[in-house]
Amino acid sequence: MKYIFLNLKRFDIPPELGGVNRLAPLPQWGAAVVTGVQEKLRPLAEECRFPVFFPEAHILGAAGALAADSPVELGCQGVFRQDTAVGGNFGAFTTGRPAHAAAALGCGWTMIGHCEERRDKAGVLAEAGVQDTAAVNRVLNQEVRRAAEAGLNVLYCIGETAEESPRRDEVLREQLTVGLEGVDTADGKVVIAYEPVWAIGPGKTPPGREFIQEVARVIKGITGGLPVVYGGGLKTDNAAMLASIPEMDGGLIALTRFTGEIGFYPDEYIEIIHTYFGK
């Protein structure tokens, strides 16, 4: 089984407010994403899963637009490290998004450990005088556990920065062993996304096929063969290359257009997927 993930970040914000949403008015944005792709994904539904991570305000709109047996699976962009429990905390988590809330809204997936989340958590810890990457992984582990307890599938993101590149395998091993400690990964509900953080962004050189294949082998060796997708950006120009790597099980799409009116466009999303599958 292959996995093509779509991370819509905060792509709901219109250009006049600094965002990239040219797809639909805000009240209809989540539904527009779903209706723009779900029927075109059906021919590939038997060989690939298509989870989409929405900003939280649009989960209900997206859920309402799902057709019967839609190939689109809903996800949220992270969960809180604590959750509700019968006879325990009833939801006193102001600003937090409990995993049970995500599940109740219709999510089957969540994304944890994205490089942007890792950077934020490291920044908060640094303000407290803590310079400990293991601390970030321990916090993420709490999130992964809460997601698993709520029955959510998890896309767990890992990756090294430029400073960490010389000890890449050590960094990835720590992120995996600490971040997934105590999590039952035998149930098929955890997928790993590899993000080469040093290669993400304008003007940076992405890794080549041999490098990505090598990292995928390392990750599968550490995790006992968990599915691995490329989280550095699945695009039209690298889709065929990534599809040719047997150790890679898919990819993570964000932007579909990187110049001009940048942003997410359903037809371009479908084009990337068709390129990946050689259609």
Known catalytic residues are 114, 195
Report d(CA 70, CA 88) in Å as an integer. 35
Question: Residue 119, CB half-sphere, CA atoms under 13 Å: how many?
Answer: 9
> Do 199 and 161 meet the contact criterion of CB atoms below 8 Å apart?
no
Structure tokens at 137: 């992984």
Three-class SS state of 143: helix
Report d(CA 43, CA 208) in Å as an integer. 30
Report d(CA 10, CA 14) in Å as an integer. 10
> Do 62 and 107 meet the contact criterion of CB atoms below 8 Å apart?
no
Report d(CA 69, CA 66) in Å as an integer. 8
Length of the chain in terms of residues written: 279
Q: Which of 180, 194, 170, 161 is nearest to 224 (CA)?
A: 180
Which residues are registered as beta bridge partners of 192?
156, 228
Q: Which of 204, 215, 116 is nearest to 157 (CA)?
A: 116
The one-character DSSP state at 67 is P
